[in-house]
Every structure is written in C-alpha cells, then in structure tokens.
Structure 1
Amino acid sequence: MLTEKSAKTPMYQFIMDDIKGKIAEGILKPHDPLPTQIDLARQYNTSEITSRRALSDLVQEGYIYRVRGKGSFVKENAAETSPKAISTIYFAQRNMDVQLYNHRFFADTLAGIKEVCEENGTPFYLWDIGPNYELPDDPNAGIVLASDDQFDLTQLIKWRDEGRRIVTVHFYYPHLNIPYVIVDNLTGGYLATQHLLSLGHERIGIILTGASMVEMNQEFSLRLQGYRLALSQHQIPFDPELVCVMDNDKEKPEMGYEGFKTLMSKKDRPTAIFATSDYKAFGAINAAREMGISVPEDMSIVGYDDLVMSQYTYPNLTTVNQNTKKLGERAAEMLLFELQESQGKTLKDEIVPRLIVRDSCAEAKE
C-alpha cells in the first residue's frame, strides 16, 4: 500500500496504484465495495474529476466493476482480461488546415480537451490523418475526430470494427454507433431568430452557406431548421424569398456582403438578418454601410460563432457562442471515463449554445 506520492505521479494514477496495492495485499477482496468518487476525492484531497478518472481507469484495466445505482466493487481475477486505459488523446483531422485553428470553434474545443487531459495526466496532441486516413499506431489512443461532409465513411467503419476508441465532433453519424458530441445548431438558429422576433421583427432574412436550400451540410441545415421553428412558434409563415444561400468552400465576409445586397434587392425588404456565421455578418454590415443603411437603427444583424473580432466591430456584433470549450471537455471525458462502460449503447451529447447580445440589433420600427 502506498504512503507517499511522487511529485511526478498524476493524482489519478496515485489513487489507482494505492487501490491496486490494497487489492494485491488482500486488504480489498473480490466484490468488496470501493468509496464513491465523492468520498475518494475527499480521502485523497483532490477533485471529483480526478477520482472519477481513477475509478474509470480501474474499470478499464480490469481491477473493479460497477453496478448502476450501487457503486464500484473489486473484480474477481483483477486485471486479467480487460483492455488498457487510454494512454494519449489526439485531436485528429483530415488534411489539417493550420489557419482553421484560429477559428473559435476549434480553438475553444482544443482548450476544453487540453484542460481535461491536464487534469488527468493524459498527453494530448494534434494529429493530421492526411489523404491516406492514417491514425496513430497506438491501440490505446483516444481519438477526438473532427470529420466533415467529405469524410470517407468506409474508413470510419473500418476504425470502428478495429475497436479504435473514437468520439466524433463537428459532424456525427448515428447509424454507425460511434460516440459523438455536437453543438445543438438547431437551438443556435432558434436563439438567433427568437432574439430578432423578441425585438418585433417579422421580416427576417437569413444568409446560409450551401449549394441550395436543400443542399447544405449538417450545421447550416440545422440552423435553418431553428430559424423556421422560431418563425412558426410566432405564427409567421416561412418565406423562401427571405432565404439567401451562398455557395463557397469556406466562410468569407464576401458571402455576407453579396447575400445582404441580394436580400435588399427584394421588393419587400427584411428589417433584420440572421447571418449564419460571423464572417457573413461582417460582410453584411459592410454592405449595409455602403448602401447607407444604419445598423442597428435601420437593420438588425445577428451573427454566429462569437469570433474574437465580433466584440470589436462597429457596432459590436450580437452573435451565438457555440460553447465549444464544453464540447472539447465532453469529448475528452467520454474517452477517459465513459467509453468502456457504454455496453454497446451509443454515447452522445449535445452542447447548448449561448446568445451573446451586443449592439447590432434594435427594436423594429413601427
């Protein structure tokens, strides 16, 4: 049984080694109950997330088992058959674009993963899958996979069948039974539209990204659904004339600029616009200024993403923060604490975004 902790030993590992020692010495016998994660945290003067990591890894290494509603117990023939705990977590993406990590979605996601990994003494790295779809050569690695709508699903199925430990973010594939964490984009679209409706706007334009209204990726399709849901709850008919879809591979201010001018060319102009990214919102504000339309006095504009720049634009941009730090935290927690105990059920979580109200919206004129 351990009595001292080395300065280099992570606390979760110290707890695990202490419990393993008690099992080896017969102090803890098969089917003996263990303290709860709350009691362990108090006993070792640490956080609950650390004690939960210790218990979860002891389950993965085959030393203990859990009974829902009753607690954790010492296993018969401890550590003989169970898979090893996750050694390292990688944030993996295909053909990694370094510039992409300046975007708040990815920057905050990485910060969330890193925080959980540091708390639990788990190394964390970025990994470029590349054109050949190569994962790290480590069967005990945990992979947070940032896929897209061009991702080769046959590779994902192959990794699943190989038993690779993967949680997808950004996009998800429920039919593959692969764990995922996503931002609730429907709620995000709803929050943006509801805010404009609460200010009395009824003619609300929306600028989206895609090839057409029916050819959009998951993110923008769900934001459109949220927009439509908010309108329907206020008994406002959906008007396709107020939908502008811009086709581009990347989000750019020019898309919002052109989209704004398209909507302003309508006979019955909108009084507010939901631009489904901050980049498009920046372009819309520039177009409004060029056309002599004052924001927010004559036109209210809401963005999406809460980029750092959005709090410095004139006017400061009302937008939707996707809460992706929490997304990263949950992805790491699933890999470290929940994957082994899912028992064939699909692990999933949806992160609720937040509306950030600033100065780019005002009440509708009568």
Structure 2
Amino acid sequence: MQGSKPLYLRIMEDLQQQIKDGVYRDNDKLPTEIDLANQYGVSRITSKRALIELEKQGLVYRKRGSGSYVRNHEETSGMEKVSSSFRTPIISMILPWSSTGRLDYIQGANDYLDPRGYFLSIHISNWNVEKEKELLLKMYNSGHSGIILYPSSTSHNIATVNTLFMNDFPIVLIDQHYEGVEISNVVSDNKTGGYMAADHLIRKGHTRIAFVTAIEVDLRSTIRERFIGYCSAHKDHRLTIQSDYIVPEVYKGIADEDRIAKLTALVEELADQNITAIQAEHDDLAIDLLKACQHAGISVPEQMSIIGFDNEENVGYAQVPLTTVAQNYYEIGQKAATIIVDIIEKKNMDYRQNLIPVNLVERDSVKEMAEEV
C-alpha cells in the first residue's frame, strides 16, 4: 500500500536517494519523463513534476530538448531547500562594507519595505568573497524571503548567486551586474558618469588625463563601465589615449599606512609626463590622490586637476573640495526593494536592469586650462 503520499513525491524522493547514493553523479543524465512515467506507471505530468521539484531544489538542471542532469555537488553544497511557505518576511541586504555614504541604500530600501510588512536585515562581507558566499547561503537557508546583494566582485560567487536564482530564490543586485547572467539589477549609469567626468576635464582644456583605479579594471562592472565612458569621451573629442595614462591597481600589495607614500610617487611621475588631470574611479581614491599631491608639493587644481566618482559626504569638505560624479544611492536602494517585492509577490518576475541617472557636481578641484597662444 502506497498510502496518501503523492506519486510525484515518491519519484522525487527515489531520485534524491539515488543521487545521494551515487547512482547518478555530477552531470549524469537522469531518466526522461517518459522513462519515469513507464517505470512508475504514472502520467508524464506526474513524472515531469518530480523533475521540476528536483530542479527547484537545485539538485538537477535541465537542458532544453535534452533532459535533466545532476547539478555539480560543489554548486549545491551547503544549500538546503526552504519552502517559500516557510520563509519569513525578511529581506537581507549584503553590502561589502559599512559606510555612512551608503546609508542611503539602506534608507531607500527600508522606506519601501517597511510599510509593506517586510523587515530589512543588513550584513557586511568586508570585501571578502568567502564571507559573501557564507552570507548568501546563510540567508537562503535561514528562510529569509530574498537578498539585495552588492557584490564584492563581478568575477566571484557567480555560481552561488546563479544557483540561488535558479532555485527561484528572489535576489536583486545593486551597484554591479554579472555579464551574461540575467539577474535583475539596479546600477548607476556608470558609463555615462565616466564619460561625463572625462568630457568635463576635456572641455576645461585638459588633453592628457590619467585614469586611475584602486583595483583591476576587469574586476568590477562599475569600473569597466566608467573606463569605457572615459575612452568614449576621448574618442568623441578625437584625443588619443596613451597606454601609460591608464594606471590600475594602485593599492595592490601595499598596507593602508603606505598608500599615500606610493600615491605621492605616482602623482610625481604623472606630473613628469605632463599629465594635467586625474580621473579617479571613486572618491576615496580621489581624496588619497589629493593628499598625495599635497605631499608632493603639487598644487590642486593649479598644477593637477582631480575628479572623483560617488559624491561621498566628506568630499565637499576636503582641503580642496572635490569635483565628482554623484550617484543616487537612495533611489538605487528603493528601486531594488521594489523589484524584490515584485518577485516575492509574483507581480513581475521579468529580468530588469535599471540604470539610475548620475550628475556632475562641480567644486574646486578642476582648473580650466589657459588656451595656448
């Protein structure tokens, strides 16, 4: 006697056990819907449901027109399937670091979630990709309703994030996006911002502009897109970019206390190359470059103009107030919360990429160059 257990559940549990016992290993093809229907004496609808449930659990993946296959163990390790009916109304926001400038992400999301009965839980990865992975799995297994993720990098944890997504777990990215992975995201218009910064410098008469980054350009979509904007502005103004104008990874391999010393040597070298302006990938780096210029005796903006990106709270109060490109963190947080609630409540499950406009904030760190006679 089979009892009252649904037939699809019996098939599903048998396949689960066979995967666990190693009858089917990573990337092995499972029996087809027709094979299972004949084996268990059920309809194809029933056998298909069993395979769909296994896919939802992250144990298998399906290839259109080919069948169902066992998912790699490494991708599913540490994941427990939590039924959506048992999930709590908590949205987790995972940020790479805590910063007063990023409180608007939290405020924007919370202002949308709170009146709708959702609670926002904040977690910090400290730019550690292993910590980020740990948090992703923990929030998933804890029964939270969804995750708003600011990735530490767009080159790491793609398998983990995509597996959660393929398990129909609501997840939205902010600040960055993964290439070729259709997970909804809310990002600033970094390409336009990068263009805007370079264009502003060029219109001020600068023709030798360095693009300086803290990390490798390829590591984050934000930096890539700001760099593309920088290049596009040069192309539109018919200016050549020399390879030594691009200075990546200036923080690589140095302790925090040695940063200014290294950057001081860098700005001296750039000045020797007749570079008259620096476009920094973000404000923190721009402020460090400003300090380095002061250490080197290079006057800003008289001898070197500097422009940042973000419009952090402190940059308007720097010794030389910083010209920068402002992001709207509040709108990013609010839009991400809107999308994740739509996914949770099944109002809109479509892939969405939202570009949030940026704007140039002019202060004192950029000089207009005198026209050559």
Q: How do residues 1-366 of structure 1 correspond to structure 2 at under 5 angstroms?
A: 87-93=89-95, 100-104=97-101, 106-127=102-123, 130=131, 132=134, 133-137=137-141, 141-149=145-153, 151-211=156-216, 215-248=218-251, 258-259=262-263, 261-266=265-270, 267-337=272-342, 340-343=346-349, 345-366=350-371
Letter in 2 for 1:289: Q
What is the CA-CA distance between 1:326 and the residue it aligns to?
A: 0.9
Structure with a larger share of its residues in helix: 2
What is the CA-CA distance between 1:350 and the residue it aligns to?
A: 1.4
Aligned-partner Cα distance in 2 for 1:144–1:276 = 24
Q: Secondary structure at the match of 2:213?
A: strand
8 Å CA contact retained: 1:89, 1:124: yes
TM-score of the pair, normalised by structure 2: 0.66
8 Å CA contact retained: 1:85, 1:140: yes
Q: Secondary structure at the match of 2:186?
A: strand
Aligned-partner Cα distance in 1 for 2:256–2:276 = 23
Q: Secondary structure at the match of 2:183?
A: coil
8 Å CA contact retained: 1:160, 1:178: yes
* CA deviation map 1:249-291 (0-9, x unaligned): 6996965763464354255311111122222212222222233
What is the CA-CA distance between 1:136 and the residue it aligns to?
A: 4.3
- In structure 2, the CA distance between the partners of 1:330 and 1:293, relative to structure 1 (3 Å rule), is same
What is the CA-CA distance between 1:199 and the residue it aligns to?
A: 1.1
8 Å CA contact retained: 1:246, 1:255: no
TM-score of the pair, normalised by structure 1: 0.67
Letter in 1 for 2:368: E
Letter in 1 for 2:348: S
Letter in 2 for 1:234: H
- In structure 2, the CA distance between the partners of 1:295 and 1:124, relative to structure 1 (3 Å rule), is same
8 Å CA contact retained: 2:170, 2:343: no
8 Å CA contact retained: 1:244, 1:263: no
In structure 2, the gaps of 5 or more residues are 1-83, 126-130
Aligned-partner Cα distance in 2 for 1:257–1:108 = 33
Letter in 2 for 1:141: S
* CA deviation map 1:190-228 (0-9, x unaligned): 1111111121111112211234x6x44322222111111
* CA deviation map 1:134-169 (0-9, x unaligned): 224465712212222253222222212221111111
Aligned-partner Cα distance in 2 for 1:252–1:351 = 32
Aligned-partner Cα distance in 2 for 1:180–1:317 = 29
- Residue number in structure 1 paired with 2:17: none
Count of matched residue positions in the alignment of Structure 1 and Structure 2: 276
Letter in 2 for 1:248: Y
Q: Secondary structure at the match of 1:310?
A: helix
Aligned-partner Cα distance in 1 for 2:147–2:229 = 30
Letter in 1 for 2:297: G
Letter in 2 for 1:173: Y
- In structure 2, the CA distance between the partners of 1:279 and 1:127, relative to structure 1 (3 Å rule), is closer
Letter in 1 for 2:117: G
What is the CA-CA distance between 1:347 and the residue it aligns to?
A: 1.7
In structure 1, the gaps of 5 or more residues are 1-81
What is the CA-CA distance between 1:302 and the residue it aligns to?
A: 0.7
Aligned-partner Cα distance in 2 for 1:253–1:228 = 32
Q: Secondary structure at the match of 2:291?
A: helix
Letter in 2 for 1:189: G
Deviates more, 1:113-122 or 1:245-254: 245-254
Letter in 2 for 1:192: A
8 Å CA contact retained: 2:267, 2:292: no
Letter in 2 for 1:356: V
* CA deviation map 1:64-120 (0-9, x unaligned): xxxxxxxxxxxxxxxxxx989983322135xxx6xx21152x322111111112343
Letter in 1 for 2:177: Y
8 Å CA contact retained: 2:263, 2:292: no
- Residue number in structure 2 paired with 1:56: none
- In structure 2, the CA distance between the partners of 1:257 and 1:216, relative to structure 1 (3 Å rule), is farther
- In structure 2, the CA distance between the partners of 1:257 and 1:338, relative to structure 1 (3 Å rule), is farther
8 Å CA contact retained: 1:296, 1:362: yes
What is the CA-CA distance between 1:356 and the residue it aligns to?
A: 1.3
Q: Secondary structure at the match of 1:265?
A: helix
Aligned-partner Cα distance in 2 for 1:152–1:332 = 22
